[in-house]
Amino acid sequence: MTVQTSLYFDLDAAPLSVDHATLLVHDLDRLTRFYIEVLGFRVHHQTTDQVLLGAQTPFLTLKNSPDAARADPNAPGLFHIAYLLPNRVDLASWLQHLAQNGLRPQGASDHNVSEAIYLSDPEGNGIEVYVDRPTSGWKDAQGAIYMPSLRLDTSTLPEPQAWTGVPEKTRIGHVHLQTTDIASAETFWTGLRMDVTARYPGGSFFGSGGYHHQIAANVWRSSGRAVEPGPKTGLSQLTFAVDRGLTTSAVTHLAPSGVDITLQPKGL
């Protein structure tokens, strides 16, 4: 169990945390502009075939893959990538940035453990932008992590400031996947030393070190669907930063959602 020394969860201290995601895309220029202009990511490295994006450190690679099939939104694969902002002022400032550019989110939810805004990129990849709440309020009276999906009242957010791009400490907080069945997802993720932190009809959530979830898997649209063969647009790989007590060398597993999961020892 990760020992917390502040009000908020320290993902870097968790035994496993999401470090990097790779998306296969059809229109690299368009997707790059979106993640820079709408999300506020910065470019760390760019070639004709791929772009490395992030904040202080990179956490998202876009790979130009014109021959990849268009991902079926109802098949196993990505549900959304969730980008964690440092605080509520950042979330309010980003929402103001969206409004000033004539953009509206697709949803806004109060999950008790977090406050989340939802949208999609131009190729349909799901996105969540969120902030965590203090860990002291995450659990119910029985000591279980409580994550409802309630309407978020955005009027309660702090006064926004001028948006100049994502803060340095922005990172991927969690990734939500679509899978073919929950049983195989639970077997896979618990086999990688993650704990089931919550279960809801058609969905399970997996955390490491006491976090509400670094991974979720659902069958809301993909129940019984097979992973599509061959390369397809969307999420192709997730890399986790992992304590050396769990692995001493990089190793890759294929998740039931059809995504390559690489466990990378911390500091390697």
pLDDT recorded at residue 247: 86
In a domain, 135, yes or no: yes
With CA atoms as reference, report the closest residue to 79 among 254, 181, 237, 221: 221
How far is residue 74's CA from residue 99's CA, in Å, rounded to a whole number?
Answer: 30
Mean pLDDT by 10 residues, the chain (268 residues): 69 97 98 98 98 98 97 97 98 97 96 98 98 97 96 96 97 98 98 97 98 98 95 98 92 97 92
Q: How far is CA 217 from the centre of its chain?
A: 12
Tell me the residue range of the domain where 78 lies: 11-265
| Its pTM surpasses 0.85 | yes
Residue 42: exposure state from Cβ atoms within 10 A (0-12, 13-18, ≥19): middle
Q: State the CATH number of the domain containing residue 115.
A: 3.10.180.10
Q: What is the pLDDT of residue 215?
A: 98
Q: What per-residue confidence (pLDDT) applies to 268?
A: 73
Does 58 reside within a domain? yes
Instruction: Yes or no: say if 169 and 56 are a contact pair by the CB < 8 Å rule.
Output: yes
Residue 128 lies in a domain: yes
Structurally, the chain folds into a number of domains equal to 1
Residue in 134, 119, 147 with CA at minimum distance from that of residue 34: 119
Q: Return d(Cα 185, Cα 204) in angstroms, integer.
A: 8
